Structure 1
Amino acid sequence: MGSDATSPQTADTGYTTSRAFLEALAEGGVRYVFGNLGSDHPGILEAYAQARVEGREHTLPELVICPHESVAMAAALGYAQVTGVAQAVLVHVECGTQNIGGMLHNAAKGRVGVLLYAGASPYTQEGELFGSRNEFIQWIQDVHDQRGIVRGYTKYDNEIRTGANVKQLVHRALQIASSSPQGPVYLVGPREVMEAEAPTRQADVAHFSPVAPAALAPDVVDRVAEALAGARQPVVVTSYLGRDHEAVPALVELCEAAGAGVLESVPAHVNFPADHPLHWGFQWNDQNHNPLLEEADVVLVLGSDVPWIPTKNRPNARARVFVVDEDPLKDQMPLWHVPAELFARADLGTAVRQLSRRVAELADAEVVARRRERAAAEHDRLYAARAGREAPDGETITPEYLVACVREAIDDDTLVLTEAITNYPTVSWHLRRNAPGSLLGSGGGSLGWAIGAAIGAKLAAPERTVVSLVGDGSYLFGVPSSVFWMARRYDAPSLTVVFDNNGWNAPKASALGVHPDGTAARRNDFGVHFTPQADLPGIAEAAGGAWGRTVKAADELKDGLAEALAVVRSGRSAVLAVQVAGM
C-alpha cells in the first residue's frame, strides 16, 4: 500500500469488539477492570468514552486506573477473595503481562479467579486495517509467544481473533476462572481485532455458569466417617476450607460430632474459630515435632497444599490418612505426596456436610464426649502458653504484643489481611480470628499482595474497616506509592500496620535453617538489613496524603493504633510503622 493510502476506518455502527468485550465482562459479574493502559488499548478507551457520552456507563465495568500492574492484580485478587466473584485486570502487551508475574503466582496458588486481558502488538504495519502499527514500540513488543509467558500459571488462555465470538470467549474464560478450583485465565487481543466492528447479538452468559459443586461418593462417605467415628484421637488438618464461609460452621459440626481436634496448616483464611475448644492451633514452618499430629490415629486432610512438613512434623506411620480436596492430586506441583489411603475430589463444604451427618449417625456419644474433653484441655493449654507472651520486653515492642494490641483495637467485623511473613505464625496465634471471612492471606508466595489487595477488599466491602498486617519487606514489595495514590483516588482507605524489623528476616531464617552454625550465623552477616532505614509511612503520605506515624516504644503503641483506626474510619488511609524486635 502506498504512502498516500487511506487507512480503513472503524465500523459505522460504533459497536466494536472492545465494546462487546467490556459488556461481556459486566454480564459475567465483573464490576471493576483494574487497568494499566498502553498503546494496545485505544478501542477500550474509546468504548468507555462513548458509554459516558451516551449515558450507558452501567453496561460496562468501572475502570480503575492502576499506576503499576502488580497493584492492579493485587487489588483484583482482594476483591475476588472477599466476594468470590472474579474481576478483570487489563495490562499492556507482554511488558505489562510480565509485570503481574508475582501476583499471577498468588492467584494460581491461592486459587483465586481473575481474568487477565492484554493487548497484542498490531499484526499489520502498512495501514491495511484500522489499528495498524503506528508507533515504534509495537515492533519491539512483538514476541513469539506472549500467551506462553503465563501458561504455567493460568487455567486457560486464548486469543480474541474476531469480534463475532468475543462474548463467547469472555464468558467461557470467566466460567473456567470461577469453577473449582478457581484460578486465573488470560486473553489477548490484537489492536486491529479490538477496533473492528462486532455483531450485537452474541452468546448468552446464562449458558456459562460455573461447574456445580461435586459431592463425595456414598462409599467414600462411609469409609471416612467410619474411621472418624471409631478413632481414638482424630485430627482434621486444613488450610483453605474457609474460602467457603458456609463450610466453616459445617466443619465445626463435623468436628464436634467426631470429637476431632483441628490444626490449621499455613492458613490463608479463617477455617475454624480460633476460640473453639476443638481448635488446636497453627502450623507454619515449625522446625519441631507436633505431638498432636504424631499421636493421631486418624488424620483427615481437608483442603491443604502443605498439611505438614514431612521431615519435621508428619503423622505417625500407623495413622490412617484421608485426603479430601477440590484439588487432591496437586498436579501443578511436580513434587507432592501425602501418604494417604484415600484421595477424593469434592467441594469441601459439600463433603464436610456429608461427613458430619454420617459421623453423627455412627459415633458413640459417650466416647465423643471424652474426646472433646481431652481436646478442650489441649486447646486451653496451647493458648494459655501463647497468652503469656503478649507483653512487651521493657520498652521494646515484641511481635506478640503488637498483634495482641491489634486484636484488642479491632472488632469482629474488621477485615484483616496478613502478609507478615516470618510473623505469620504470630498473627495466627495471637490475632485469634473467629468469624469466617475476617482474615485473608494471599495463598501464595509472592510478596507485595496485601496493601494492594486492601484496595480491592475495601471496594468489595466499603462498610468494613480493612487492616493489613505486613512486614517491612512486604510493604516495599507492594509498590506503596501506587497503592496509596489509588486508595485516595478511589476512596478506599485502609490501615497498614508494618512490622518494621529493618530488613528481610525470612532469608535470614532460611539460612539459619540450613546453616545454623555457618559463617553467616557466627558473624551475623546475612546481607538483609535495610540500612539506612526507610521512612515507610512517609511514602504513603507523599503519594496519597495518608496519615503516617512510626512507633518505637511500647507505651506509644495503643494510642498510635487508636489514632490510626480513627483516621481510617474517617475516610483517610493510615500507615503505622511499628519497630519490633526480631532481626
Structure 2
Amino acid sequence: MPYTASSVFLKSLAAAGITHAFVNWGSDHPALLEDLQRQRTESEHRGQTLPRIVTCPNEMVALSAAQGYAQATGRPAAVIIHVDVGTQALAGAIHNVDRARVPVLIYAGASPFSSLRELKGSRNEWIMWMQDVPDQSSIVRQYMRHTAQINSGRTVTQVVNRALQIAMSEPKGPVYLWARREVMEEELPDSFYLSLPITPRPPLAVSPSGLSAIDVTALSNAFISAINPLIITGHLGRNQDAVASLVTLSTLLALPIYCACPSTVNVPFSHPYLYGITYLTPTPDTERYKAHLENADVILVIDCDIPWLPLRFAPKADARIFILDGGDPFKTTVTMGMWDFSLHPGVEMVCRADAELALGQVLDSVKSSLGSMSAEVMREVSETVKGRQFSASLQHKEWIQALDEAEVVGSPATGQTQITVPQAMAAVREVTESYTPSETTGVRSLSTLVLNEAISNYPFVWEHIRPEKSGSFFTSGGSSLGWSLAAAIGSTLGIRTSEDGSPGSGGYDLTVNVVGDGSYLFGVPTSAFWIARRYETPFLTIVLNNGGWKSPKLSMLGVHPSGHGSRSFSGEQLSVGFRFDQDNDTAVIRECPDYSQVAVAATGGWAWGKRVGVHKEAGLESALQELKATLKEAVRIVVEEKRCAVVDIVLDAL
C-alpha cells in the first residue's frame, strides 16, 4: 500500500512526542483511517498504532480528555475532528484549553476542493458541499495560539513541528491545523516516508525567561523591608517545580500566601503561611482575603489571572505591587477588565518571567542581602520576620480549625437537614487516606489525583480535600462546564503512559472527579463513560447534587439581592432546578435524574453507582454513615476491580 500525506501526518505526530489522539471521525478522514489500518496490518508498531487512537463519540469530550491528559502529564495530545461541524462541536472545551494554557494539537479535515475525480479524494457525498465554509479555522482562531493549513504531504512534518513548538511555548495553549481531503490522500515515495525519524523527539519550545537584575533587586528589597507582605497566585503550580521555590521563599521571610481562583496546587495545604483559598465570591473566606489584601504593603501577584475584583475590593493605593506571569502578564486575550490589575496606582513592575526561575533569583538575592546586612539591620529584619511567623502560623491554624468545625455534623438546633459539601469532602478525604488495599492490588498506600468541577462549591472541595502534592489537583482553568468526566479519562490514560507511549506504572492509584450535577450533565456522561469502559480508564466520580444550577441563582442574587428571584420557592420555579416533583416529600432522594445509573447504562453494567442522602427512611447521621460505607466500596471497585464508580450525594436543594 502506498504511503500518503496522512501516513506522514501520523508519523510526524508520533515523532514529535504525541502518544494519543482523541478522535471523532468523519468523511474527511479516509486516508487517516486507511493508514491506521495499514499500521495494524503491517505490524509496523507491533500491532499498535502511533499515535494510539481513542475513539470519542463527542468532540467536546475528546478535547476535554486531551486537556486532562496534558494536565496530568505535561505532554500534549492530539484531537482529530470532522470539518467545520466537528470544529464547532468542540464547544466550550476550546475556551478551557485556551484559558488554562493547555497544549493540545487539534486537526480537522475539510471538504475536498475538486468534484470530478481530478484528484484522489474528490467530492463524492452531498454533505461535502454543505460543509465547505469560507474560513473554517476562523471558528476557533481567537482561542488558538496558532492556526495553519496543510497544503502538501511533503511539508506536513514542518507544519506539525511548528505548531507544537508554539503550543509548548509560554503562554502554552491549543493549536489548530486543517487540510483538504485531496491533500491528505497525496501519495508519497516510500523513501520519503521511511526517511522520517522514528524516535520521539518533541520540537524545542522557547526557553523560559527570568527577571532582569534590576527587577530581582527591587522585588527582593521590597520583601525584606515589607511589614505586611502578601503573595497571590492562581496557577503557579502548573510548573510543579515552581512550588518548592515558592514554599522556600515564603518560609524564609514568613510571607503569607493566598490562592485566588486556583486551577492547580500552588502550595501544600499544610504550609503554615498559606492563609486560604478564594474564588472571590461573597463568603467569609473572601472577607478574610479582602482584609489581608487591603492591609498588605507589598504584594506579589504571580501566575494569577484574577487576583481581586475591582468592583468589590482592591489593594490600598500606596501598596507596592509586583506582577509576574510566565506567558501573558497583560492578559491580552481578554478584551477588557483585566487591565485593572496592571493599572492599579501601586503597580511598580509587570514582568513576563517563569515562576520557578524568578523565585529562585529572588531567593538568592534575599539570601545575599541578608548575609551582607549590618548586625543592627539584620536584627530588625529578624524581629519583623519572627513576628510574621507567629501571626501567619496563627492565621493558618485558625483557618484550619474553622474548616474542621465545618465538617462536624450540626446539632438539630443548627437546622442542618442534609449532608453538606464540607462533610462530604471530609468523608472522601478520610476514606482515601485510610484505604487498606487487598494483597492482590499491589498498592500499599493510595495516591490520589483529584479533579474539581464543583463550580459554586469550588472552594469547599479545595478546603476539605486539602491537597498536599503539586500536580495532584486540577480544575478546568476556564469557565466552560463539562470538563471533568472526560478529563478523568485523559488523566487516567496519561498517568499510566510513559513518554514513549508504552504502558507505565503511573503516578496515581486513584482519580477522583468531584462534579456538580449540572456540570455532570454538561460533560455528556453517556459518551464519557462509554470511552472509560472502552479504554478501561476507571475513576471515581462524586456528584454533588444540589438539584440544578446554583451558580446562575447566585449571580442573580449578586445583582438583585432583594428582587423577585430572591423570593422564589424552588430552583424549578426559577428555571435553574432539575428536580421533577418538588411537592413529593415521601421520596426526596428520587426527585432528580439518577446520575449514577446513567453511567451504569452507558457502560452496559460495567460501571457501578449509588445515590446517598437524607430521605424518609434515613436521617442525617444514618446518611453520613451510609456515605462513608458507599465511598469505601466505590474506592475498592475503582482500585481493585478497575471499574468506574459514581457516588451521587444529595445536598440541600436550590
- TM-score, structure 2 normalization: 0.85
The equivalent residue for 2:558 is: 513
The equivalent residue for 2:462 is: 428
Q: State whether structure 2 residue 12 is matched by structure 1 residue 28.
A: no
Q: How does 1:10-409 map to 2 (within 5 A)?
A: 14-57=2-45, 60-198=50-188, 199-200=192-193, 201=195, 208-287=203-282, 289=287, 290-326=290-326, 327-335=328-336, 336-337=338-339, 338=341, 339=344, 340-363=347-370, 364-393=381-410, 396-409=418-431
Letter paired with 2:432: I
Letter paired with 1:360: K
Q: State whether structure 2 residue 626 is matched by structure 1 residue 556.
A: yes
Q: Partners of 1:582 and 1:330 in 2: how far apart?
A: 37
Q: Give the Å deviation of 1:379.
A: 0.8
Q: Give the Å deviation of 1:488.
A: 0.9
Q: Partners of 2:274 and 2:280 in 1: how far apart?
A: 19
Q: Give the Å deviation of 1:197.
A: 1.7
Q: Partners of 2:421 and 2:320 in 1: how far apart?
A: 37
Q: State whether structure 2 residue 646 is matched by structure 1 residue 575.
A: yes
Cα displacement string for residues 435-490 of structure 1 (whole angstroms, at most 9, x for unaligned residues): 10110111000000001000010011134210000000010000000111111110
More moved, 494-503 vs 280-289: 280-289
SS of residue in 1 equivalent to 2:629? helix
Q: Give the Å deviation of 1:206.
A: 5.6
- Contact kept, 8 Å, 1:94 with 1:146, in 2: the verdict is yes
Q: State whether structure 2 residue 504 is matched by structure 1 residue 480.
A: no
SS of residue in 1 equivalent to 2:240? coil
Letter paired with 1:461: I
Q: Partners of 1:413 and 1:365 in 2: how far apart?
A: 39
Q: Partners of 2:648 and 2:632 in 1: how far apart?
A: 14
* CA-based RMSD: 1.5
Q: Partners of 1:216 and 1:285 in 2: how far apart?
A: 29
More moved, 113-122 vs 197-206: 197-206
Letter paired with 2:298: V
Q: Partners of 1:390 and 1:168 in 2: how far apart?
A: 55
Q: Partners of 2:202 and 2:12 in 1: how far apart?
A: 13
Cα displacement string for residues 537-583 of structure 1 (whole angstroms, at most 9, x for unaligned residues): 11100001210100012231101111111110120000100001251
The equivalent residue for 2:447 is: 413
- Contact kept, 8 Å, 1:283 with 1:308, in 2: the verdict is no
More moved, 53-62 vs 474-483: 53-62
- Contact kept, 8 Å, 2:15 with 2:197, in 1: the verdict is no
Letter paired with 1:42: P
Letter paired with 2:292: L
Q: Partners of 2:197 and 2:630 in 1: how far apart?
A: 54
Q: Say if 1:374 and 1:79 are closer, same or farther in 2 by CA, change over 3 A.
A: same
Q: Partners of 1:92 and 1:223 in 2: how far apart?
A: 52
Q: Give the Å deviation of 1:43.
A: 0.5
- Contact kept, 8 Å, 1:300 with 1:323, in 2: the verdict is yes
Stretches of structure 1 that go unaligned for 5 or more consecutive residues are 1-12
Letter paired with 1:509: L
Q: Give the Å deviation of 1:312.
A: 2.1
Residue 574 of structure 2: which of 526, 529, 532 is its match? 526
The equivalent residue for 1:466 is: 511
Letter paired with 1:275: S
The equivalent residue for 1:498 is: 543
- Contact kept, 8 Å, 2:36 with 2:49, in 1: the verdict is no
Q: Give the Å deviation of 1:371.
A: 1.4
Letter paired with 2:405: G
Q: Partners of 2:422 and 2:317 in 1: how far apart?
A: 35
SS of residue in 2 equivalent to 1:74? helix
Q: Partners of 1:132 and 1:365 in 2: how far apart?
A: 76
Stretches of structure 2 that go unaligned for 5 or more consecutive residues are 371-380, 411-415, 434-445, 497-505, 581-591, 614-622
Letter paired with 2:489: I
More moved, 337-346 vs 281-290: 281-290
Letter paired with 1:409: V
Q: Say if 1:582 and 1:403 are closer, same or farther in 2 by CA, change over 3 A.
A: farther
- TM-score, structure 1 normalization: 0.96
Q: Give the Å deviation of 1:64.
A: 0.6
Letter paired with 2:482: G
- Contact kept, 8 Å, 2:549 with 2:576, in 1: the verdict is yes
Q: Partners of 1:206 and 1:212 in 2: how far apart?
A: 16
- Contact kept, 8 Å, 1:258 with 1:360, in 2: the verdict is no
Q: Partners of 2:110 and 2:24 in 1: how far apart?
A: 14
Q: Give the Å deviation of 1:65.
A: 0.3
The equivalent residue for 1:4 is: none
- Contact kept, 8 Å, 1:273 with 1:435, in 2: the verdict is yes
Q: Give the Å deviation of 1:318.
A: 1.6
Q: Partners of 2:553 and 2:540 in 1: how far apart?
A: 28
SS of residue in 2 equivalent to 1:310? coil
Q: Give the Å deviation of 1:349.
A: 1.1
Q: Partners of 1:436 and 1:284 in 2: how far apart?
A: 20
- Contact kept, 8 Å, 2:15 with 2:201, in 1: the verdict is no
- Contact kept, 8 Å, 1:257 with 1:359, in 2: the verdict is no
SS of residue in 2 equivalent to 1:502? coil
- Contact kept, 8 Å, 1:125 with 1:133, in 2: the verdict is yes
Letter paired with 1:571: K
Q: Partners of 1:42 and 1:448 in 2: how far apart?
A: 30
Letter paired with 1:329: F
Letter paired with 1:332: T
Q: Give the Å deviation of 1:257.
A: 1.9
Q: Say if 1:74 and 1:345 are closer, same or farther in 2 by CA, change over 3 A.
A: same
Q: Partners of 2:49 and 2:128 in 1: how far apart?
A: 31
Q: Partners of 2:196 and 2:462 in 1: how far apart?
A: 48
- Contact kept, 8 Å, 1:168 with 1:202, in 2: the verdict is no
Q: Say if 1:207 and 1:84 are closer, same or farther in 2 by CA, change over 3 A.
A: closer
Q: Partners of 2:488 and 2:168 in 1: how far apart?
A: 21
- Contact kept, 8 Å, 1:165 with 1:202, in 2: the verdict is no
Q: Say if 1:311 and 1:504 are closer, same or farther in 2 by CA, change over 3 A.
A: same
- Contact kept, 8 Å, 2:407 with 2:426, in 1: the verdict is yes
Q: Partners of 1:396 and 1:232 in 2: how far apart?
A: 44
Q: Partners of 2:130 and 2:148 in 1: how far apart?
A: 22
- Contact kept, 8 Å, 2:421 with 2:457, in 1: the verdict is yes
The equivalent residue for 1:565 is: 635
The equivalent residue for 2:608 is: 547
Letter paired with 1:362: S
Instruction: Count matched residues.
Output: 571
